[in-house]
Amino acid sequence: MPVKPQRLTRKEYDARVPKLREELVQLQVQLKESPFKILLIIAGFEGAGRGEVINTLSGWLDPRGVETFALQEPTDEECERPFMWRFWRSLPTQGRLGIYAGSWYTEALREETFSHKAPGDIRHELERIRHFEKLLADNGTLIIKVWLHLGKAAQRDRLNTLESEPSTAWRVTPEHWYHYRNYDRISRAARLILKETGRPGAPWTIIDAEHERTRNVAVAKLILASFRAHARKLKPSPTARIPAAEKRLAARPLRPAGLARLRALPLDQSLSAIEYELKREKWLGRLNQAVRTANAAHRSIVFVFEGWDAAGKGGAIRRLTSAIDARHYRVIPVAKPTDEEKAHHYLWRFWRHVPRAGLVTIYDRSWYGRVLVERLEGFATGQEWRRAYGEILDFEQQLAEHGIIVVKFWLQVSKEEQLRRFRERESTPYKRHKINAEDWRNRRKWAGYEVAVGDMLALTNSSFAPWHLIPANDKRHARLTILKTACRQIETSLGGGI
Amino acid sequence: MPVKPQRLTRKEYDARVPKLREELVQLQVQLKESPFKILLIIAGFEGAGRGEVINTLSGWLDPRGVETFALQEPTDEECERPFMWRFWRSLPTQGRLGIYAGSWYTEALREETFSHKAPGDIRHELERIRHFEKLLADNGTLIIKVWLHLGKAAQRDRLNTLESEPSTAWRVTPEHWYHYRNYDRISRAARLILKETGRPGAPWTIIDAEHERTRNVAVAKLILASFRAHARKLKPSPTARIPAAEKRLAARPLRPAGLARLRALPLDQSLSAIEYELKREKWLGRLNQAVRTANAAHRSIVFVFEGWDAAGKGGAIRRLTSAIDARHYRVIPVAKPTDEEKAHHYLWRFWRHVPRAGLVTIYDRSWYGRVLVERLEGFATGQEWRRAYGEILDFEQQLAEHGIIVVKFWLQVSKEEQLRRFRERESTPYKRHKINAEDWRNRRKWAGYEVAVGDMLALTNSSFAPWHLIPANDKRHARLTILKTACRQIETSLGGGI
């Protein structure tokens, strides 16, 4: 139950609003220069005035710095992706305030209250939401969540008042009265949601919505107070230098077992050209069939290719794609992020390429950069890259739960083999563009990368997105193993049903 | 009729392919460093092997530098925008080769052949396509269009062969035979399309598709030859300095009548605070109603706000948005383009924000930057900004034809009034962020800008997207005029039906 604040008279309200507006616009000016964004989520009971609050706030704010997200029926492009995809794509750009008129909570509340599920069955959804908000909050986003509370009698009065005015009567639908009749049920669901998703970094503020003016001022004051508190405790900018001690830690394994597994991988298998030719056709055919079956069943496939420089990712991807209709796959080469990508959470640039139903996305390097190059080069702080393992598991789980088949490869070559290939690249005119000073620099950090790869293998191996370690000293052997492995995982996933 | 090239034997083919592949991959390496992109459009008769050609090419190319666009049923997000929107969003990113398995031609051919329209009724669509391709070609894009030709007997033989093989029989559908039975009709339509859309910068190459190997090699050779020719004639990079003579030309009017109209605008109207308050409520209510009616009719609205620095665009937008439900509009402040935007045609960044059905997009500055700041500052060459008037007209016409209401404002203040406002901004603490050295720099170029504005008003005023000149020396008067004008244009458009 929210504390009922003193009601504001019209006169008091009119006296306070100009100051509030000025402060809000000042906030927006500061926000433009700030390295974070604000999400404002307005949820609450029907008739509590979510739309009115948003319109009032929008009138007070400079509309050029606001993005209002209205939850409509998901489009077919949205339905074909995991549930959270449409919220990822709705995130405001840097320096702007995102206001959510409908949010992930709207759906959760609807499901808990009106679906045929048992009470509390949405706990899994709520966990997903908690993760999503934590991930954004950890990234510096200020998340302000407002629950507009209305007692049962107050709800009835509000609906009656709206209905009695010709200018507002159209806003009251039978659904509103249905909500009123189910007040207790909705109230229970709301309590569950508030309890399960109120967390540091994304706390709920319950605001009594019975009195409109008081409600509007309370929301505005909450935004101002939250912004100030957030700006104060802002961490130093991400470009700040990582202390040497932390860098040394980055080179030490979290899970020595992963490193051991990597080192124990035998790399001496090989395949003759004739054997390869013979078997390749068979497996290409089988893969073609598997991908077509997946397509027909509207199951998407996400391939992740990671591996040492010159381990043969490009060649392996070419062989793999030769089995797939060109109209069905897309290769995403992961290099330097664009500035739009840099302005978002590091997973955003991968979410945006999640394939439509039945299609294939091949990531040539991936989100694992966070726990490899970013860990080693100090682009991510120790906290950030340690947190990433969980964030990545959660991301891949969402893909898998949506029915997407996630196939991950690590291409392993020995340090000697890499050297041989680097030298070959340098001495072959048409391969020279494939090698540069950075490759040599990375090579000097081999030991550190080995540790990071070991941790990655140990910490992000899951039943829904297992790692496949591919011995890649012999290219033919590696390519055939990749074909076979891809085939088997896709076939198993399809056999297992959706 | 294409010249039938010498058929390649299997042996000849196998001998030539490795060289071709190497050249194609070399092309891709060069393309990465090139300031343009390539669109490859593969069209042609059913059974001519469009899919096979694309798959073969994709196998030869490095898939990491290719984006294949498969034309599927338009999604609901696509249906809600003008026809070309989904092609704009499909454009490959810089340095990549876009292969179009289905394109704007697929739809045009279908419409000409199988709809109930009279023959030649697609000429308007073809003109649209011609404009689209011209615009991309003018921007440096290399457009390669291949028509895979197949004689009637050859088509029958191909379909029969495919059907007789168990592994390919599934590829022949009743639709294919339907096409065969209508060969002459399709052939006529194809001739029309090829004739109407083959233009310098986007020419068609007809390739005989009867013999598969010969066809594949012909397409690859065409790509290589086109790329080489294009790279040779590439203009100097857009960052090259514009010669002084051309800069002087930029300051001379193309249409003195526009400048005269601008200068003749009386700026002495004003409105008292009381009058304003009284009338504002009425017009806000009317605008609210008009926008809601448009929303219910799934008609979108695009507002364009242009005007001198400090002319009051921001304030006018705030008053306007206060009449619209926050969930229904989006303000796009147009500042420096992001690097993703810079890598595309200058209209791309505006196409991406075209609203969904029933929604409102407000551009705070717009595509008119091309003929204002880019013209004056030499960011666009004389050719580029002169061409832009036609490109913009075409863009706005597409919006209008889709039923989008396009409302454009130019906010006119006198040079003295601007000075007063600049000084006021500088001396008011909370307004100081609104003024910087660039504003003063632009002010010194007032005469040049005045000429550019005049030309813009004269050359981009159309029945489907008229310019509204707003005297803005008095803010209240300007805001009310904007409300009224917006209202009237929307009401008229709605009254006129879709």
Q: Report yes or no: A181 at the B interface, CB cutoff 8 Å.
A: no
Burial class (CB in 10 A: 0-12, 13-18, 19+), B26: middle
The residue type of A260 is A
Choose the closest CB to B321 out of A58, A99, A321: A58
Strand stretches in A185-279, DSSP E: 204-208
In Å, how far is A58's CA from the nearest CA of chain B?
Answer: 7
pLDDT on residue A115 = 73
Lowest mean pLDDT among A385-389, B354-358, B427-431, B464-468: B427-431
| CB-CB contact of B447 with B262 (8 Å) | no
| B45's tokens | 């008769």
Residues of B in contact with A89 (CB under 8 A): none
Question: In angstroms, rounded to a whole number, what is the distance separating the alpha carbons of residues B183 and B161?
Answer: 18
Q: How many CB pairs under 8 A join A and B?
A: 106
Is residue A218 within 8 A of residue A207, CB to CB? The reply is yes
pLDDT score, position B237: 54
- At residue B308, the pLDDT reads 97
In the sheet with A467-471, reading across from the earlier edge strand, the strands are A329-333, A360-364, A301-307, A405-412, A467-471
Torsion of CA B81, B86, B92, B94, to 10 degrees: -10
Across chain A, mean pLDDT equals 92
Min Cα separation A278/chain B (Å): 18
For residue A497, pLDDT over 70 is answered with no
Q: How far apart are CA A470 and CA A315, in angstroms?
A: 14
Residues 73-102 of B with CB under 8 A from A: 75-77, 99, 101
For an interface test with A, the pick among B64, B77, B317 (most A C-beta atoms closer than 10 Å) comes out as B64
- Inform me whether the pLDDT recorded for B229 exceeds 80: yes
**Lookup: tokens for B416:** 């003295």
Residue B147 has a pLDDT of: 96
> Which of B57, B61, B69, B331 is most worth mutating to test chain A (most A CB atoms within 10 A of its CB)?
B331
Cα–Cα distance for residue pair B304/B362, rounded to 1 Å:
6
> B55, A430: Cβ pair inside 8 Å?
no
Half-sphere exposure (Cβ direction) of B353: Cα atoms closer than 13 Å: 22
Q: Could you give the strand order of the β-sheet that contains B329-333, starting from the edge strand earlier in sequence?
A: B329-333, B360-364, B301-307, B405-412, B467-471
Shortest Cα distance from A218 to chain B (angstroms)?
19
How confident is the prediction for chain B on average, in pLDDT?
Answer: 92
Kindly tell me if the per-residue pLDDT of B465 is higher than 80: yes
What is residue A367's DSSP assignment? G
Query: B78 vs chain A: nearest CA distance in angstroms?
Result: 10
**Which amino acid would we find at residue B96?**
R
Longest Cα–Cα distance in chain B: 90
State the average pLDDT over residues B34-58: 91
In the predicted model, what is the mean pLDDT of residues A106-116? Answer: 79
Taking CB atoms and an 8 Å limit, are A22 and B362 in contact across chains?
no
Top-confidence residue, A35 or A305: A305
Q: What is the pLDDT of residues A212-256, one digit of tens each?
A: 999 999 999 999 999 999 988 875 555 556 777 777 788 899 999
Mean pLDDT computed over B203-226: 95
pLDDT (mean) for A399-405: 97
Separation in Å, CA A65 to CA A16, A60, A98, B74, B330: 23, 12, 9, 32, 10
Q: Do A321 and B63 touch (CB under 8 A)?
A: yes
Q: Does residue A120 register a pLDDT over 80?
A: no
Tokens 């100030």 locate to A228
Question: Would an 8 Å CB–CB cutoff place A23 in contact with chain B?
Answer: no
B449–chain A nearest CA distance, Å: 24
What contacts B206, CB < 8 A, 6 or more positions away?
A: B1, B2, B146, B147, B149, B194
Minimal Cβ distance to A330: which of B59, B67, B364: B67
Q: For residue A329, which residues of chain B lie inside 8 Å, CB to CB?
A: 63, 68
- Residue A269 is predicted with a pLDDT of 93
Instruction: Tell me which residue in A65, A75, A338 faces B77 most closely, judged by beta carbons.
Output: A75
pLDDT score recorded for residue B281: 92
Tell me which chain A residue has its CA closest to the CA of residue B24: A430
Residue range B72-93: average pLDDT? 92
What is the number of other CB atoms lying within 10 angstroms of the CB of residue A479? 23
B362 close contact with A: CB closer than 8 A: yes
For residue B63, the tally of other CB atoms under 10 A from its CB is 24
pLDDT bracket for residue A119 (50, 70, 90): low
Residue type, B294: A
Q: Say whether residue B327 is in contact with chain A using an 8 A CB cutoff.
A: yes
Give the integer Cα–Cα distance in Å for A458 and A265: 14
Contact criterion met (CB < 8 Å) for A326 and B29:
no
Residue B103: name the closest of B128, B69, B136, B141 by CA: B69
Question: B56: closest CA among A266, A89, A322, A161?
Answer: A322
| Confidence band for B119, pLDDT divided at 50, 70 and 90 | low
Residue B465, number of CB atoms within 10 A of its CB: 22
**Confidence check: pLDDT of A203 > 80:** yes
The H-or-E segment that residue A292 falls in is: helix A273-296
Q: Indicate the pLDDT class of residue A82, thresholds 50, 70 and 90.
A: very high
Q: Mind listing the pLDDT tens digit for each residue in A135-176?
A: 999 999 999 999 999 999 999 999 999 999 887 888 888 888
Provide mean pLDDT across the span B409-424: 97
Contact between A25 and B430 using a beta-carbon 8 Å cutoff: yes
Q: Is A196 helix (H, G, I), strand (E, B) or coil?
A: helix
Which residues from B are below 8 Å from A54, CB to CB? Answer: 326-327
pLDDT digits (tens, 9 = 90+) for A253-284: 999 999 999 999 999 999 999 999 999 999 99
Widest CA span in chain A: 90
Segment among A430-439, B209-218, B402-411 with least mean pLDDT: A430-439
pLDDT value for A333: 94
Min Cα distance A296 → chain B (Å) is 14
Cβ neighbours for A24, distance < 8 A, ≥ 6 positions apart = A57, A60, A61, A220, A223, A224
**How much is the pLDDT for B498?**
40
* d(C-alpha B364, C-alpha B377), whole Å: 20
Structural element, H or E, at residue A317 = helix A313-321
Band the pLDDT of B97: cuts 50, 70, 90.
very high
Distance from the A7 Cα atom to the nearest Cα atom in chain B, whole angstroms: 25
Tens of pLDDT, residues A305-347 = 999 999 999 999 999 999 999 999 999 999 889 999 999 999 9
CB-CB neighbours of A434 under 10 Å = 17
Question: What does the pLDDT read at residue B73?
Answer: 85
For residues B378 and A8, give the distance between their C-alpha atoms in angstroms, rounded to a whole number: 56
CA dihedral A243, A245, A248, A249 (to 10 degrees): -100
CA pair distance A58, A49, nearest whole angstrom: 14
Q: Are A300 and A358 in contact (CB under 8 A)?
A: yes
Contact A292, A491 (CB under 8 A): no
Question: Is the predicted ipTM greater than 0.85, yes or no?
Answer: yes
